[in-house]
């Protein structure tokens, strides 16, 4: 495959709101690294980059530690969302900038496009359309979260030649080998994460942070989460290998901020080994946990190790304080376990500004009081409540329940999965009740 040229594309976000909480296309960059190891030349276009603003405009300044706002332009809403009284925007660079970038690139042999939220697909479709205009006849391959969760929709409407689902390393290599009539010398073992090359973050302009994944999959089976469908069974990397990767990016690219992308970072005995290794070998860097940590795992020793290792942004997945819903949705944490985790984190030196707790709101048949109680509980224990509006996700256990009660045709149109709509609101949890809770969160 030496000499083949691959273009990787991270599309725009089309939504009512979006914010860069250490968001990078880790899976796409991992595929790029595997293709480079096989001798391919890899280019990367990131529609969400912030280093080249819209023509005549200044880009938003990044906030501390690499997070910040995306570039943004208000656009027309899709017809299905015209009744929503909020601005709808394209987040990322201008269409003109993307077109210019395509024109400057050599013609690729294939284009790999990733996707994230199911209801962000308009940005994916627009990117594919422009790629086809610039490179007619080139194979466009779509993968990622939307492609996996809404496969038939993607195959029918995206404009991609092929749609790859689930973990894509071996599937993409097999597909390209079939298209080109050639074979790859290196085919990774997806069950052995330690054998994979580091994602090609070096292709990112103005690299401010790196995303790290110490595992794939999750040992829990929460009813609202599709991790088990997207990633399969849980697998872990050797802590020593993770530390070597962190050292590489810190030493070779001066990266000081790292975001963990694990679904269950602290689960299992290897987590404490990892924290000790980081504290001993990688001083002076910061770690961020936007995906949420399991409070059950945060014992007093673990909290101390997190502090020693440089964990700066702590996010916990509480979701609810209702005991019945905790059990019914997967039992990943109880209120008592969360309270102990908060106590341990405070003892380790964290304050309420450091610790945010995700609270799910708008779940099927969830009442507003349940959400309000969780907000009060988090505040009482010295944390910052972060409302996480429920999005119905195909292939989860709650999906059919959501489809049955929602006023929107969720099965037919992924745009209606958008959490801004509160797709499963009902008389027990109305939009006005939600606004009241938001006001209480700010107090």
* Measured distance CA(229)–CA(220) in Å, rounded: 12
Kindly list the strands in the beta sheet with 88-91, ordered across the sheet, starting from the edge strand earlier in the chain.
13-15, 88-91, 72-75
138 and 271 in a single domain? The answer is: no
Residue 188 lies in a domain: no
pLDDT digits (tens, 9 = 90+) for 115-131: 999 999 999 999 999 99
What pLDDT is stored for residue 56 in this prediction? 44
Provide the 10 A C-beta neighbour count for residue 337: 17
Task: Check pLDDT > 90 for residue 168.
Answer: no
109 and 255 in a single domain? The answer is: no
Residue 196 lies in a domain: no
Cα separations in angstroms, 233 against 165, 218, 229: 16, 7, 9
Phi, psi (rounded to 5 degrees) for 396: -100, 165
147 and 32 in a single domain? The answer is: yes
Element (H, E) at 171: helix 169-180
Query: At 443, is the pLDDT very low, low, confident or very high (cuts 50, 70, 90)?
Result: confident
Retrieve residue 31's tokens. Answer: 């595929």
Alpha helices in 211-269 (DSSP H): 227-231, 239-253
pLDDT digits (tens, 9 = 90+) for 412-437: 999 999 999 999 999 999 999 999 99
228 and 147 in a single domain? The answer is: no
128 and 254 in a single domain? The answer is: no
Mean pLDDT of 329-353: 96
CB 285 within 8 A of CB 209: no
Residue (of 387, 388, 391, 399) closest to 229 by Cα position: 399
Query: Which range of residues forms the domain containing residue 226?
Result: 209-442
Residue 361 lies in a domain: yes
Query: At 59, is the pLDDT very low, low, confident or very high (cuts 50, 70, 90)?
Result: low
What pLDDT is stored for residue 57 in this prediction? 44
126 and 49 in a single domain? The answer is: yes
40 and 154 in a single domain? The answer is: yes
281 and 404 in a single domain? The answer is: yes
* Measured distance CA(394)–CA(432) in Å, rounded: 27
- Total number of domains in the chain: 2
214 and 170 in a single domain? The answer is: no
Detail the DSSP E strand segments found in 232-354.
235-236, 257-260, 286-288, 311-319
* Measured distance CA(88)–CA(330) in Å, rounded: 34
245 and 167 in a single domain? The answer is: no
Task: Check pLDDT > 80 for residue 345.
Answer: yes
pTM for the structure as a whole? 0.95
Residue 191 lies in a domain: no
163 and 299 in a single domain? The answer is: no
Mean pLDDT of 223-250: 94
Residue 195 lies in a domain: no
Residue 193 lies in a domain: no
DSSP, collapsed to helix, strand or coil, labels residue 8 as strand
pLDDT digits (tens, 9 = 90+) for 80-89: 999 999 999 9
DSSP, collapsed to helix, strand or coil, labels residue 326 as helix
Last residue of a domain, one of 161, 180, 199: 180
Tell how far CA 3 is from the center of its chain.
32
CB 55 within 8 A of CB 34: no
CATH number of the domain where residue 54 is located: 3.40.50.280
CATH number of the domain where residue 413 is located: 3.80.30.20
Residue (of 227, 236, 228) closest to 192 by Cα position: 236
Q: Quickly tell me which residue has 């690294």 as its tokens.
A: 33
Residue 342 lies in a domain: yes
Task: Check pLDDT > 60 for residue 51.
Answer: no
58 and 167 in a single domain? The answer is: yes
Residue 281 lies in a domain: yes
Residue (of 292, 295, 278, 379) closest to 340 by Cα position: 295
Mean pLDDT of 390-402: 98
* Average per-residue pLDDT for the chain: 94
């Amino acid at each position: 495959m030496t000499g083949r040229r691959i273009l990787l594309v991270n599309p725009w976000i089309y939504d009512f709101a979006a914010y860069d909480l250490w968001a990078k296309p880790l899976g796409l960059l991992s595929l790029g690294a595997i293709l480079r190891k096989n001798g391919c030349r890899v280019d990367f276009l990131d529609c969400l980059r912030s280093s080249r603003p819209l023509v005549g405009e200044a880009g938003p300044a990044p906030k501390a530690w690499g997070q910040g706002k995306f570039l943004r332009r208000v656009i027309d809403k899709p017809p299905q969302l015209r009744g929503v009284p909020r601005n709808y925007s394209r987040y990322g660079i201008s269409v003109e900038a993307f077109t210019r970038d395509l024109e400057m690139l050599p013609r690729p042999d294939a284009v790999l496009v990733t996707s994230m939220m199911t209801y962000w697909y308009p940005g994916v479709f627009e990117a594919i359309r422009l790629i086809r205009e610039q490179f007619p006849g080139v194979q466009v391959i779509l993968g990622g979260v939307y492609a996996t969760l809404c496969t038939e929709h993607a195959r029918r409407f995206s404009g991609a030649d092929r749609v790859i689902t689930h973990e894509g390393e071996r599937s993409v290599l097999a597909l390209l080998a079939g298209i080109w009539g050639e074979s790859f010398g290196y085919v990774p073992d997806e069950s052995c994460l330690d054998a994979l090359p580091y994602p090609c973050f070096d292709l990112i302009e103005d690299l401010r942070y790196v995303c790290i994944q110490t595992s794939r999959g999750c040992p829990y089976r929460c009813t609202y989460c599709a991790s088990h469908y997207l990633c399969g069974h849980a697998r872990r990397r050797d802590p020593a290998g993770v530390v070597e990767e962190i050292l590489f990016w810190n030493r070779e690219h001066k990266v000081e901020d790292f975001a963990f992308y694990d679904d269950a970072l602290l689960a299992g005995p290897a987590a404490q080994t990892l924290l000790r290794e980081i504290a001993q070998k990688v001083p002076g860097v910061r770690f961020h946990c936007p995906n949420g940590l399991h409070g059950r795992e945060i014992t007093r020793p673990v909290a101390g190790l997190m502090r020693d290792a440089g964990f700066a942004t702590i996010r916990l997945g509480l979701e609810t304080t209702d005991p019945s819903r905790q059990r019914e949705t997967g039992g990943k944490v109880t209120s008592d376990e969360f309270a102990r985790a908060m106590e341990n984190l405070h003892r380790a030196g964290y304050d309420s500004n450091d610790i945010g707790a995700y609270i799910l709101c708008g779940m099927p048949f969830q009442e507003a009081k349940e959400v309000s109680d969780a907000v009060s509980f988090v505040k009482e224990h010295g944390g910052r409540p972060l409302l996480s509006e429920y999005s119905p996700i195909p292939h989860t256990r709650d999906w059919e329940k959501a489809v049955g009660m929602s006023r929107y045709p969720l099965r037919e149109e992924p745009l209606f999965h958008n959490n801004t709509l509160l797709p499963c609101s009902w008389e027990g949890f109305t939009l006005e009740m939600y606004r009241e809770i938001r006001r209480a969160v700010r107090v």
